[in-house]
Amino acid sequence: MNTVAGVKSTAKAGGKLTGKVALVTGSSRGIGRGIAERLAADGAFVVVHYAGNAAAADETLARITAAGGRAVAIRAELGVPGDAEALWTAFDDAVAAAGPAAGIGPGLDILVNNAGISTYGRIHEVSEADFDRVFAVNAKAPFFVIRQGLERLRDGGRIVNISSGVTRIAFPSTTAYSMTKGALNTLTLTLAQDLGPRGITVNAVAPGLVHTDAADWLNDPAAAKQGAAYSAFDRLGEPADIADIVAFLASDDARWITGQYIDGTGGALLGVS
């Protein structure tokens, strides 16, 4: 795994995020990849985090570099003891190694907590082990990643937590997963109040059904048609739809927005038609 790929590339001149350092957890593919690519396109130096799929992380780096962006990749498994410490150690090492070529110093400006896992089942179908695992990755890990990252996050920084539309729309088959995202929403609200004096904004973005390789069941035409019907726009979401929202929240344009839950479901199930 080449952890310094792309550091000699030149970011787009005049990008809104030029000079910023961003970390996007779970960004080797799917929505996370889309976010990493967009932040890099806006000029940020992006640290791409992955848990185990080095090939996918390499592909993300290659796509960012090909578009003229700058990025490095780090590996850290989340949801296990010591996960946040391992992630930040890898982050510090990667940024230090890239610094001379990339023109960046220690520290962080943008943290996107995107990494997460799913678990399916109604309440009577979810095992205790599955419940503990989904909370460890989706709720506990972001909490301690943020906690240990605050000493690195510069004043005026940005935290964006990737929530889910299932916190607004009831899906009994994702009860435990939905609970983790509800916890993330509450963390977003309380941290926004806590970190406001430092000029740090904290917001949550809630995707709906997004067509990614992780949601391969949407490759079935019938499933895709049903999923698209949830949205007011009668289509599935794409990673770029979510990435554009995150890029706005990461920019100075969103400096007066904090503690908010941004619905990125494409108007899913707004009412009865």
**Catalytic site residues?**
177
Q: Are 163 and 121 in contact (CB under 8 A)?
A: no
Q: 271: buried, middle or exposed (CB in 10 Å: 19+, 13-18, 0-12)?
A: exposed
Helix (H, G, I), strand (E, B) or coil at 80: coil
Residue in this structure with the two tokens 């000699």, named with its chain if needed: 8
Residues with Cβ within 8 Å of 117's Cβ and at least 6 positions away in sequence, in order, are: 79, 133, 134, 137, 138
What would the two tokens of residue 27 be? 């960004």
SS3 of the chain: helix, strand, coil, percent, to 5: 45, 15, 35
Distance between CA atoms of 35 and 56, rounded to whole angstroms? Answer: 15
